[in-house]
């Protein structure tokens, strides 16, 4: 039970980072982002669950959007990363690597559990 909660929190914290990483290369719309996340397996999101994440990133000015016509369907809302988003991504990835490095170093020095 405790483990599930931990995994849930870990995933929740990783979604923003994952979306920023995806948008770093090109603008994407909601379904496209969801599909890319599903391909990772671990970061899979279903239905409309991506939109609160996108909303949070937009409120924090990390991403912005524009509407574009679609060939055979409704207009699509494309998100792109802002300068503030790039900075946040850089900082967060650095923090993430530091955390991972710190945990790995502990594992190497006496990881009897693994």
How many residues touch other proteins under the rule CB under 8 A: the total is 19
66: part of which helix (H) or strand (E)? strand 63-68
- Between 46 and 75, how does the x/- string for binding to other proteins read (CB under 8 A)? xxx--x----x--xx---------x-xxxx
Residues 6+ apart with CB under 8 A from 18: 37, 40, 43
Among 11, 58, 77, 86, binds other proteins (CB under 8 A): 77
Phi-psi region of 61 (alpha: psi -120 to 50; beta: other; left: phi over 0): left
Under the criterion CB under 8 A, does residue 8 sit at the interface with other proteins?
A: no
Q: Which residues bind other proteins (CB under 8 A)?
A: 29-32, 34, 46-48, 51, 56, 59-60, 70, 72-77
């Amino acid at each position: 039970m405790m483990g599930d909660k931990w995994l849930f929190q870990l995933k929740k914290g990783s979604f923003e980072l994952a979306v920023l990483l995806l948008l770093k290369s090109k603008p994407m719309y909601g379904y496209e982002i969801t599909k890319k996340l599903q391909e990772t397996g671990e970061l899979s999101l279903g239905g409309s669950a991506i939109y609160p994440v996108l909303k949070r990133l937009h409120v924090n000015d990390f991403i912005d959007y524009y509407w574009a016509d679609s060939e055979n369907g409704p207009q699509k809302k494309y998100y792109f990363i802002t300068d503030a988003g790039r900075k946040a991504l850089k900082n967060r990835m650095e923090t993430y690597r530091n955390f991972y490095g710190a945990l790995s170093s502990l594992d190497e020095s006496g990881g009897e559990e693994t």
